[in-house]
Chain A
């Protein structure tokens, strides 16, 4: 006689230690196996797109800081790239180099957090995360030196950056960059050959190449599935054409591949920062832009490769001082579309690990 089973609904979030903010999943379980998942969003929906319509173009930069608050610098950059495209402004070369340095530092910081939280979700509660925090704090110190803020920088401005770097910045950056590979390798030694980490991550949460493209996944999630697609190479912006770096890709598309891609990207970011430091030209840091910026009528889409994927801003101008429409292409939200396919059929214990490997930031998911 076959035993009858009943499905069971488990609610994870919005207040849950492993949901990276206020994200919620309604999981339907049969025993330990996930039958269905319904992600519930909106617990941090602040209406940034609507509020941005009521403020001027430079004022909207502060909203971008608070989208993906683990990567505020790259958010700034994506927005100013879009506005510069809309208004036809070219930032001076020194400003572009400074932007690249900041964006790559931010990528390292964001990936450190992604790896730390992934391990947190795998059950290594807090200890690896605190190690990652140690390295992140040093990056925050560098940002603090440049713009006086730890989390929300508002550093990049339309047509440049808010201020030049202080004298002591480059030596401090050099010292940090020289020490960082050692720390990353230390984590690698502890984690990449760790039996438990390998069992929990290898061949778990596989996203195939075709699915990744079909789900519009971006960033490490797309590259982990083996698609060599990086906006820095595919559609170079700023001065990225001048740097030599590799685009790491995975082969299987499991949690481990996404984790490896992030680790490798940190090494590549270090290489980019080294080259940018060497090539950093002297000169202006701010282009001459009108006091009151009124971009011509029209629309523009500016995009960059953020730490979580392609981050883009779609702007519509009606010729006034405020954007008529501002839309964010949120990599975190779009990457989550694949969550259902990844979770259905796996055990509940793997759900958080798979979710952690996607690396979302709820500020950007909900906006």
Chain B
């Protein structure tokens, strides 16, 4: 059987297709009889109902909350759950934050993951100070929240909120990656409530 002689489906013969094309040209000719106006006038006339107006805050917060870049800082055990959260299984990139920045200057979020000792505290504060505004802090794990298991130790800071202001606390020892993701969603909600026009309250 030769390919050229295959029967065509109904309505798709060469004649039919030509006819359809001709009809299309005819109808367009009928439709476009008047010259199109200068686009300026057209946009002004339709502008009143074709633009969405919202608050600047909502737009800025939407953008900010959808691309929170964490700083690539790990203190102790919880750091591995943070990396787990970033790995393909839990996939932190669903929230637009897969880019862990090694430099704090390019980051928006500091996840304090693990026990903070007094020896490390100046460095953590320095990382926080180097981050540019707006910036947020998540205290991950009970050590970061309150010192946890090591609260009574001579070398441990009992709660990182003594050193940096904390926005969201994620409990657990260590919190599972799901818990961290939940904490991150809480942070997103928090960001959406903020107002850029008013100065952000310093902790």
Answer whether A and B touch in the complex at a CB cut-off of 8 Å.
yes
Q: A residues within 8 Å of B by Cβ? A: 14-15, 17, 21-22, 42-48, 50-51, 54, 62-63, 66, 69-70, 130, 133-134, 137, 150-152, 362-363
| Contact status B174-A47, CB under 8 Å | no
A-B contact count (CB 8 A): 88
**B190 nearest CB across to chain A (Å):** 25
Q: Which chain A residue has the least Cβ–Cβ distance from B130?
A: A15
Q: Which chain B residue has the least Cβ–Cβ distance from A45?
A: B155
Please tell me if B60 contacts chain A, counting CB pairs below 8 Å.
no
Q: Which residues of B contact A69 (CB under 8 A)?
A: 76-77, 80
Q: Would A50 and B174 be within 8 Å (CB), given that A14-B120, A134-B89 are in contact?
A: no
**A142 nearest CB across to chain B (Å):** 15
Q: Roughly how many angstroms separate A150 CA and B119 CA in the complex, as a whole number?
A: 28
Q: Roughly how many angstroms separate A76 CA and B139 CA in the complex, as a whole number?
A: 27
Please tell me if B186 contacts chain A, counting CB pairs below 8 Å.
no
| Contact status B152-A51, CB under 8 Å | yes
Q: Would A66 and B149 be within 8 Å (CB), given that A15-B127, A130-B88, A151-B81 are in contact?
A: yes
**A79 nearest CB across to chain B (Å):** 15
Q: Which residues of B contact A45 (CB under 8 A)?
A: 117, 119, 155
Q: Would A63 and B77 be within 8 Å (CB), given that A44-B115, A47-B156 are in contact?
A: no
Please tell me if B72 contacts chain A, counting CB pairs below 8 Å.
yes
| Contact status A363-B77, CB under 8 Å | yes
Residue of A43, A130, A133 with most partner-chain B CB within 10 A: A43
Q: Would A151 and B155 be within 8 Å (CB), given that A15-B127, A46-B117, A130-B87 are in contact?
A: no
Proximity bits, B115-152, A CB within 8 Å = 1, else 0: 10101100110010000000000000000000001101
**A126 nearest CB across to chain B (Å):** 9
| 6 interchain residue pairs of minimum CB distance | A69-B77, A47-B153, A133-B87, A43-B120, A46-B150, A17-B102
**A144 nearest CB across to chain B (Å):** 9
Please tell me if B64 contacts chain A, counting CB pairs below 8 Å.
no
| Contact status A66-B87, CB under 8 Å | no
Q: Which residues of A contact B77 (CB under 8 A)?
A: 66, 69, 151-152, 363
**A221 nearest CB across to chain B (Å):** 22
Q: Roughly how many angstroms separate A22 CA and B77 CA in the complex, as a whole number?
A: 11
**A141 nearest CB across to chain B (Å):** 10
Q: Roughly how many angstroms separate A130 CA and B93 CA in the complex, as a whole number?
A: 14
Other-chain contact of B117, A44, A70, A134 (Cβ < 8 Å): A44
Q: Which residues of A contact B76 (CB under 8 A)?
A: 21-22, 44, 66, 69, 362-363
**A314 nearest CB across to chain B (Å):** 20
**A176 nearest CB across to chain B (Å):** 15
| Contact status B176-A150, CB under 8 Å | yes
**A32 nearest CB across to chain B (Å):** 21
Q: Which residues of B contact A130 (CB under 8 A)?
A: 87-88
Please tell me if B83 contacts chain A, counting CB pairs below 8 Å.
yes
Q: Would A63 and B149 be within 8 Å (CB), given that A47-B156, A133-B83 are in contact?
A: yes
Please tell me if B73 contacts chain A, counting CB pairs below 8 Å.
yes
Q: Which residues of B contact A62 (CB under 8 A)?
A: 149
Q: Roughly how many angstroms separate A47 CA and B149 CA in the complex, as a whole number?
A: 11
Q: Which residues of A contact B123 (CB under 8 A)?
A: 14-15, 22, 43
**A47 nearest CB across to chain B (Å):** 4
Q: Which residues of A contact B150 (CB under 8 A)?
A: 46-48, 51
Please tell me if B168 contacts chain A, counting CB pairs below 8 Å.
no
Q: Which chain B residue has the least Cβ–Cβ distance from A18?
A: B102
